[in-house]
Structure 1
Amino acid sequence: MPVSPDPLTALLAERGVLLADGATGTNLFNMGLSSGDAPEFWNVDHPDRIRRLYASAVEAGSDLFLTNTFGGNASRLKLHEAQGRVRELNRVGAEIGREVADKAGRKVLVAGSMGPTGEIMAPMGSLTHELAVEMFHEQAEGLKEGGADILWVETISAPEEYKAAAEACGKAGMPWAGTMSFDTAGRTMMGVTSADFVKLVGKLANPPAAFGANCGTGASDLLRTVLGFMAQGPERPVIAKGNAGIPKYVDGEIKYDGTPALMADYAELARNAGATIIGGCCGTMPEHLRAMREALDTRPLGERPTLEQITAALGAFSSAQDGTEITGCGDPSHDHGPRRERRGRRRS
């Protein structure tokens, strides 16, 4: 199926750097979601709360926001005996987003969130490529029906699952963006490094409009991964969607220690590192987004930061290495390969 025009690339060309949204889960838990419940049910049961979630990102200055459909595939919904509601829950999640975006008074994109299936891909596990494509495609069609501008695959660990999602987005005829989560000493849970990921994206038959990293551990680690991407000279825009600091248990609850000021510094450093789509993941609230918006709007573009500058501003890395040290140099900000001029990167 022919892929529809890509509004993400168009908006990037117009604005240069885009602010994405913040956390979905953290915000919904603050609204009363119970641990273990499926957030996607709220699209139907509590649409007013989902509308408020989306609107809070828009009001904070986000240029795009993700739908409340992260776990909206058949495999994840089966845990709640709702595998037959994939199309409905994704469609409604996107419809609410479309309503909010259309009232924003400026161009705001609705990004249809598609998270991992939660299953292990063959040959290590039982999930075949064909079945994964089928599950992602079903979800993609629901998001398309609801009016999503672009599909947004996120928090993927396995390259096989990323490839399946890419094929499914193509079958739906939708443009897409996709991130992996580098949460294991700079690698994904399945061992993918930042350098591996750039190569993977470059070989896809249906490549994303933008790619990058989300979630993982702290903001420092995520920016080290971004530097790893940039060292490979990527052709496509890079996404940075880091957590608001480090999670800590406080009074029996998980709290993230990142302040709005820290996330403002993170946004500036992410842009200087080469990312052009910058948002937050777990723990990122509207107050963080407002500080990030102000930083991106008021702070001048600086030089690409070093690892030392990142840790000085955002805190220590969670691991000594990030999996890309085969060159013998532990600093991916050093020139390990072709590097394009940042201001003139070709966006394909």
Structure 2
Amino acid sequence: MAPKKGILERLDAGEVVIGDGGFVFALEKRGYVKAGPWTPEAAAEHPEAVRQLHREFLRAGSNVMQTFTFYASDDKLENRGNIQRFTGEQINEAACDLARGVADEGNALVAGGVSQTPSYLSCKSEEDVKAIFKKQIDVFIKKNVDFLIAEYFEHVEEAEWAVQVLKTSGKPVAATLCIGPEGDLNGVSPGECGVKLVKAGANIVGINCHFDPQTCVKTVKLMKEGVEKAGLKAHYMSQPLGYHTPDCNRQGFIDLPEFPFALEPRILTRWEMQKYAREAYNAGIRYIGGCCGFEPYHIRAVSEELELERGFLPAGSEKHGKWGTGLELHTKPWVRARARRDYWEKLQPASGRPFCPSMSKPDNWGVTKGHADLMQQKEATSKEQLKVLFDKATQNA
């Protein structure tokens, strides 16, 4: 068997790479992840659940199996009370083995992932933060993942540090921030963030989580403009939420009152996911996946929309007639009449919630990096309000 093409080889050739979806949210709903900590000990504790979700994303068309290592650094595990059972090393090793086993069942690559740390949010030194990342990538190198992803960073500075450490592996590096068009939580614009990440050594840059597909694609466009204006080159990726978030502010969906247990009314339909896939592709994004709220059927929709560009349909499409064509076999004539593209493209789904508002008012309680950032708000915030913000930031750091 010929060796699999690497991530940069695929992207350099103009291929579309389909990512997977949101493991922490999907596994929380299935009873394997605890909301709040959002830590991935399920990789070691319930490997069969993680393996099955990988397989469902593979069947839906994903050709990257990202290790379930979100928040799997020792400082995060200790901060959230999980280190007593499993160490970061145990979780990272188990996650790598699961991802590799499923990736080898298809033409998929394995990506080892790191994310933001409590050490940075608690204002630890650059050396301390980088040591956290180094400990994680030692496992990824040992397990020989195909490439590395630094994802879910609210501050570009920490993402730069992560990229610098990941580059020492000699493997391709992708970096995604969980920011919107306003930039990171220190006000660094998306374009400038993109430039910083590329200069730090990232081969692929983009956005993940916190915002819906429309917002994330818009933000990647801004990032792309900044990188190109600086005369730099990179590939681009987008892995947004599977939820509508037009009412979010700078911190994204974590400020919504519905976060995290009442977000279901905001879920995008499969047809909206097809629209997202097309918009991302037209924006020049070639690594297209999802984050929290994305289930395998959403990834299948992305794969089906990009069938012509990819040259094939995923195995999961065997049980899914494109644009509802399977409904032609339904017993009810009015349902059979829905077996067409124009019906689903034009449909405006009802929420079925007559007493619910269409938008929420975000909590907007502040950022989560140290006293210095909170002090920047003092001109517009009373001393009493500032104390509340600081207490919350300290508790969540």
Partner of 1:102: 104
Which of 74, 92, 95 is the equivalent residue of 2:94?
92
- The 1:202/1:110 distance shift into structure 2, 3 A limit, reads closer
Distance of 1:171 and 1:195 partners within structure 2: 25
Distance of 2:165 and 2:309 partners within structure 1: 39
Residue by residue over 1:120-176, the C-alpha shift from the partner in whole angstroms, topping out at 9 and shown as x without a partner, is 46xxx5211111110001011112223321111101122221121112213334322
Following TM superposition, by how much is the alpha carbon of 1:117 offset from its aligned partner in structure 2, in angstroms?
0.4
Partner of 1:30: 29
Which of 145, 167, 191 is the equivalent residue of 1:148?
145
Following TM superposition, by how much is the alpha carbon of 1:40 offset from its aligned partner in structure 2, in angstroms?
1.9
Distance of 1:258 and 1:50 partners within structure 2: 23
- Higher-Rg structure is 2
Distance of 1:103 and 1:299 partners within structure 2: 23
Following TM superposition, by how much is the alpha carbon of 1:7 offset from its aligned partner in structure 2, in angstroms?
2.1
Distance of 1:252 and 1:132 partners within structure 2: 31
Q: Among all aligned residue pairs of Structure 1 and Structure 2, give the percentage whose two residues are the same amino acid.
A: 24
Following TM superposition, by how much is the alpha carbon of 1:268 offset from its aligned partner in structure 2, in angstroms?
0.6
> Aligned pair 1:221/2:222, yes or no?
no
Distance of 1:15 and 1:290 partners within structure 2: 20
- The 1:226/1:171 distance shift into structure 2, 3 A limit, reads closer
SS at match of 1:40: coil
Letter in 1 for 2:96: A
Distance of 1:263 and 1:45 partners within structure 2: 32
Letter in 1 for 2:276: Y
Distance of 1:81 and 1:39 partners within structure 2: 8
Letter in 2 for 1:240: S
Partner of 1:304: none
Partner of 2:307: 297
Alignment of 1:69-148 (within 5 A): 69-79=69-79, 80-82=81-83, 85-104=87-106, 107-120=107-120, 125-148=122-145
- RMSD over aligned Cα, in angstroms? 2.8
Letter in 2 for 1:283: G
Return 5+ residue gaps in structure 2 as ranges.
246-255, 311-347, 349-357, 363-397
- The 1:139/1:6 distance shift into structure 2, 3 A limit, reads farther
Distance of 2:224 and 2:36 partners within structure 1: 37
- The 1:241/1:227 distance shift into structure 2, 3 A limit, reads same
Partner of 1:41: 41
Q: Which has the higher strand share?
A: 1
SS at match of 2:26: helix
Residue by residue over 1:221-240, the C-alpha shift from the partner in whole angstroms, topping out at 9 and shown as x without a partner, is 11111221232325100011
Distance of 1:299 and 1:93 partners within structure 2: 31
Following TM superposition, by how much is the alpha carbon of 1:49 offset from its aligned partner in structure 2, in angstroms?
0.4
Which of 263, 272, 277 is the equivalent residue of 1:262?
272
Q: Would the aligned equivalents of 2:60 and 2:303 in 1 still touch at CA under 8 Å?
A: yes
Return 5+ residue gaps in structure 1 as ranges.
301-312, 320-348
Distance of 2:185 and 2:148 partners within structure 1: 23
TM-score by length of 1: 0.77
Partner of 2:287: 277
Letter in 1 for 2:218: R
Following TM superposition, by how much is the alpha carbon of 1:280 offset from its aligned partner in structure 2, in angstroms?
1.0
Partner of 1:338: none
> Aligned pair 1:238/2:236, yes or no?
yes
Letter in 2 for 1:82: I
Distance of 1:6 and 1:128 partners within structure 2: 38
SS at match of 2:87: helix
Q: Would the aligned equivalents of 1:6 and 1:175 in 2 still touch at CA under 8 Å?
A: no
Distance of 2:27 and 2:193 partners within structure 1: 31
Alignment of 1:242-253 (within 5 A): 242-246=240-244, 249=258, 253=262
Distance of 1:208 and 1:88 partners within structure 2: 27
Aligned residues: 293
Alignment of 1:2-21 (within 5 A): 7-14=6-13, 16-21=15-20
Following TM superposition, by how much is the alpha carbon of 1:75 offset from its aligned partner in structure 2, in angstroms?
1.7
Distance of 2:117 and 2:5 partners within structure 1: 25
SS at match of 1:187: coil
Following TM superposition, by how much is the alpha carbon of 1:81 offset from its aligned partner in structure 2, in angstroms?
4.8
Q: Would the aligned equivalents of 1:137 and 1:168 in 2 still touch at CA under 8 Å?
A: yes
Q: Would the aligned equivalents of 2:111 and 2:146 in 1 still touch at CA under 8 Å?
A: yes
Q: Which has the higher helix share?
A: 2
> Aligned pair 1:193/2:189, yes or no?
yes
> Aligned pair 1:175/2:172, yes or no?
yes
TM-score by length of 2: 0.68
